[in-house]
Structure 1
Amino acid sequence: MANADIGALDANVAQAVAQAADRALEGAFDTEFPLDIWQGGGYTILNMNVNEVLGNAANEILTGRKGQERVHPNTHVNMGQSTNDTIPSATHLAIAPELDRIVDGLDALAAVFAAKAEEFKNIVKVGRTCWQDALPLTLGQEFSGYAALMRRLAGKCRALRPGCFELVMGGSAVGTGLGTSPGYMDAFYRHISEMLGEDVRPAENLFDGFQNADFLVSVSGVVREIATSLSKVAKDLRLMSSGPRSGFMEIQLPACAPGSSIMPGKINPTVPEMVVQIAHQVVGNDVAVTLAYEEGELDLNVWDATFYKCLFENLGLVAEELVIFRRDCAEGITANRGRCAHEIETSIALSTVVAATFGYPAGVEVAHYAEEHGVTVKEAVHALGLMTPEEAEHMIDPALMTNPARMAEAIRAFRNAR
């Protein structure tokens, strides 16, 4: 279309090539692309496969038969283009809808986690650091962190999206544009912007665009970050749902299978474990993408196959897992209120209030007493004469401890009263 606009290509030939391309997009020639994804030469083989299919189809439109009488794959279809600008440009454009899928998945998962944060806002539980009991927090506060993480990751994807529409088309083989006709670039970017409804533009420096595939590394890095973040959250859910009798069992995950192969009632956390496995694959692919960028030489990075195989596999994996993680796991999470309440009421970590009120040594004494005598912190502060039962009931309150401003005011009032 661009070459026809500037008078470099016969209008009838241009129309036939465009019609052939539309048929290709509809899947009419899917069986005509037999090449393996792994191939050298900067994907010239793939580019020429496309040129030859479109050329034969266009020639058939004009003459009634396949061949090269009216349309030649190089002279007419590849006109003004090179594999070296076409393939990287196509790659950039193909990333955009994949990022959009991931953003949609992150937004949807963030909404589910935010809803769970509201649902669980009054459920106080033991915090855990280093796999040890820590200060109390609410289950809702934990889930609000997951929601914030998903929103932040979606923002990083959105920030990358404009780079998908910075292309090297018009640079031809090495960025000089040799082989294009006057006006080609302007016509190309006008047409493709209109067709896609996006602001498609040439890279600021075409030579940089040919030499360096760092944008693909940036995309791969964010996709890796999403996959590993999902894995971290999945492992949290796996731990919090461990049990049902001898684990944490603070939450329950939806059952995707009735049990194990031998143990009835053993409901495995299959979706979180799938998410962890995907992270393993994504991290491995990201390493390959990084190496492919680093291996680029001089005026073109020819390790395209690694980018396309590994990067697009990662994009697809993450987009799909977001749907499954949300639909088959996050949406069905329920809280075990009784278990959470029992754990926090008996937690030695509540002695932190004593340390904040009377000093650290007093907190240590209370913690040791509670542990040695098998009593709660509330019972220990009374036994040691630090607080009356009424004072202990008010001050050693896990819910109060989840609100630092209210806790600080309670400690100040207690000290003043003494």
Structure 2
Amino acid sequence: MTDLRIERDCLGEMEIPNDQYYGIQTHRMEKVSGTANLPVIFYPDMHYALAQIKKAAAIANGKIGAMPADVSKAIAQACDEMLTGKFNDQFPLDMWQGGGYTCVNMNVNEVIGNRANEILTGHKGTEKVHPNTHVNMGQSTNDTIPSATHLGMIGRVDELIKQLELLAASLRKKEEEFKDVVKVGRTCIQDALPLTLGQEFSGYASVVERMARKVRHLRPGCFEIVMGGSAVGTGFSAAPGYKDALYVELSKQYGEEVKPMENLFDGFQNPDFIVEVSGVLKEVAMTLSKICKDFRLMGSGPRSGFMEVNVPALSPGSSIMPGKINPTVPEMVIQISHQVVGNDVAISMAYDEGELDLNVWDATFYKCLFENFQLINSELEILRAHCVDGMTANKERCAQEANSSIALSTVVATALGYPMGVKVAHYCEQTGKNVREAVVEMGLMTVEEAKKLVDPMLMTNPHAAGPVVDAFKKEKKLI
């Protein structure tokens, strides 16, 4: 026979299996939970941040004399146990919930309360520690959930900075590795002036480094929270001295200063920081997608495509075509960007739906934001380790394209004027000759002059090309 306990709330009473640390309010919401089949604890950051908040609140309330010392100590111990993951199976609620995640806050209060009561009495219950009276003392769902969302982002932001910097370092290595690989540039997917593969990769490294700086800029905002505001920002129900003591304890736990937002009423009304973070995550995802679209084009082939780089082969690319290899990692990254952008739209809509003194759409913020963190942090490691690090250049193919590009006629336009450059380009189109051959056949340059000026590698370095072109023009008395 199942061992049961009786719990009561404002709607009545309920029998609760005694092996469960969560209680009556969680059970009520569990009945209407499960639309996503994804529990909130799937991304445990909020729950762990709530444990830190509850611990700090209990210690603060104990220090100011608002809570008995033994209760304060028991709650803090229960929170420490929760932070080890011990109670992760006691948080069954689904990601999509109404009520501004009141049920999530109460689920945590119930688990901590029952465990703290168990520490003091040897059994679960509420006679020594009550989830509302004690664990939630001086708090409201309205300040704990937004604050936990901010604090929960700290680890995700730090990991994102780390992964972006690691990817940038890998791209810088490729920049050096490919510095002597000359290739044709492409604008509008048409032949353009030559550049080196290393120069292209320097652009990729630079933008990833810039994304890391943008993410780092977000970090201080994670430590600005609305704790102490209680339900609407007034702080009603908190004992004198609670708020100051709370922030001292939170700062001690995080090892960095945690501070209240400048205006708590603003903080309750406007979760714009979530929108800002989401926007940067979208930028990161779309930047990675753009780079991977380039990898996909540059690696296309192996015989009828660009064939400029070799994207690591990870699996067969067809169920019927032998030898076909797909750019699986770049395509994964591109698809993740689709999801990230969709989540950003949802977050923007949730921000817009806020009204009066509280934005209650915490479920949308949390689910979409932390899914984006999870997706991007994971894809960055895969992209670096299984794509960029193993990428090699097809040097001969790149050189062949660069030397055959009609865009090299730009050097003729620079040296002999734009109309002559056009004539050379047309000659190449009509005869199938490359630019170096064309200028010799048209009598515009000697073989040696053509070899010196119509050099794709020279054209990748304006500091070197300028003097060579000027010397030619002076010799021809063009200047």
TM-score, scaled to structure 2: 0.86
What percent identity do the matched residue pairs reach? 66
Partner of residue 126 from structure 2, selected from 42, 64, 68: 68
Task: Name the CA distance, whole Å, in 2 between partners of 1:280 and 1:43.
Answer: 27
Partner of residue 388 from structure 2, selected from 327, 330, 339: 330
Task: Name the CA distance, whole Å, in 1 between partners of 2:232 and 2:256.
Answer: 26
1:218 alignment counterpart:
276
SS class of match (1:41) = coil
SS class of match (1:362) = helix
Deviations 1:178-221 (A, max 9, x none): 11111111111111111111111000111110000000000000
Q: How far apart are 1:318 and its partner, in Å?
A: 0.2
Task: Name the CA distance, whole Å, in 2 between partners of 1:282 and 1:243.
Answer: 29
Partner of residue 391 from structure 1, selected from 431, 449, 452: 449
- Letter in structure 2 aligned against 1:321: E
2:225 alignment counterpart:
167
Counterparts of 1:172-211 in structure 2 under 5 Å?
A: 172-211=230-269
Q: RMSD between aligned alpha carbons?
A: 0.8
SS class of match (2:193) = strand
1:268 alignment counterpart:
326
Q: How far apart are 1:386 and its partner, in Å?
A: 0.9
Deviations 1:1-31 (A, max 9, x none): 0101111111100000111111112222222
SS class of match (2:100) = helix
Task: Name the CA distance, whole Å, in 2 between partners of 1:29 and 1:251.
Answer: 49
Partner of residue 175 from structure 2, selected from 96, 99, 117: 117
Deviations 1:116-146 (A, max 9, x none): 0000001100000001000000000000101
1:92 alignment counterpart:
150
Counterparts of 1:279-358 in structure 2 under 5 Å?
A: 279-358=337-416
- Letter in structure 2 aligned against 1:351: S
- Letter in structure 1 aligned against 2:300: S
Task: Name the CA distance, whole Å, in 2 between partners of 1:35 and 1:253.
Answer: 42
Task: Name the CA distance, whole Å, in 2 between partners of 1:351 and 1:417.
Answer: 20
Partner of residue 135 from structure 2, selected from 72, 77, 86: 77
1:46 alignment counterpart:
104
Range with greater deviation from structure 2 (259-268 or 307-316): 259-268
Residue 253 (1) aligns with residue 311 (2) = yes
Task: Name the CA distance, whole Å, in 1 between partners of 2:256 and 2:338.
Answer: 34
SS class of match (1:299) = coil
Give the structure, 1 or 2, with the largest relative contact order (CA under 8 Å, sep 6 or more): 1
- Letter in structure 2 aligned against 1:308: Y
Deviations 1:265-298 (A, max 9, x none): 1111000000000000000000000100010001
Residue 103 (1) aligns with residue 161 (2) = yes
Partner of residue 136 from structure 1, selected from 171, 194, 208: 194
Task: Name the CA distance, whole Å, in 1 between partners of 2:459 and 2:89.
Answer: 65
SS class of match (1:134) = strand
Q: Mark the runs of 5 or more structure 1 residues left unpaired by the alignment.
A: none
SS class of match (1:58) = helix
Residue 13 (1) aligns with residue 48 (2) = no
- Letter in structure 1 aligned against 2:265: F
Bigger proportion of residues as helix = 1
Deviations 1:227-247 (A, max 9, x none): 010000000000000001000
Task: Name the CA distance, whole Å, in 2 between partners of 1:115 and 1:31.
Answer: 44
Partner of residue 228 from structure 1, selected from 286, 307, 310: 286
Task: Name the CA distance, whole Å, in 2 between partners of 1:65 and 1:345.
Answer: 81
Range with greater deviation from structure 2 (277-286 or 31-40): 31-40
SS class of match (1:135) = strand
- Letter in structure 1 aligned against 2:351: Y
Deviations 1:99-125 (A, max 9, x none): 111111100000000000000001100
Task: Name the CA distance, whole Å, in 1 between partners of 2:458 and 2:379.
Answer: 38
Q: Mark the runs of 5 or more structure 2 residues left unpaired by the alignment.
A: 1-58
TM-score, scaled to structure 1: 0.99
Task: Name the CA distance, whole Å, in 2 between partners of 1:150 and 1:44.
Answer: 38
Partner of residue 300 from structure 2, selected from 216, 220, 242: 242
SS class of match (1:272) = helix
- Letter in structure 2 aligned against 1:222: V
Task: Name the CA distance, whole Å, in 1 between partners of 2:317 and 2:371.
Answer: 31
Q: How far apart are 1:369 and its partner, in Å?
A: 0.3
- Letter in structure 1 aligned against 2:183: K
SS class of match (1:234) = helix
Task: Name the CA distance, whole Å, in 2 between partners of 1:27 and 1:275.
Answer: 31
Q: How far apart are 1:384 and its partner, in Å?
A: 1.2
SS class of match (1:332) = coil
Partner of residue 378 from structure 1, selected from 409, 428, 436: 436
Task: Name the CA distance, whole Å, in 2 between partners of 1:398 and 1:13.
Answer: 76
Q: How far apart are 1:371 and its partner, in Å?
A: 1.3
Deviations 1:348-394 (A, max 9, x none): 00000001111111000000101111111011111111111111110
Task: Name the CA distance, whole Å, in 1 between partners of 2:94 and 2:455.
Answer: 64
Q: How many residues align?
A: 418
Task: Name the CA distance, whole Å, in 2 between partners of 1:257 and 1:33.
Answer: 39
Partner of residue 151 from structure 1, selected from 203, 206, 209: 209
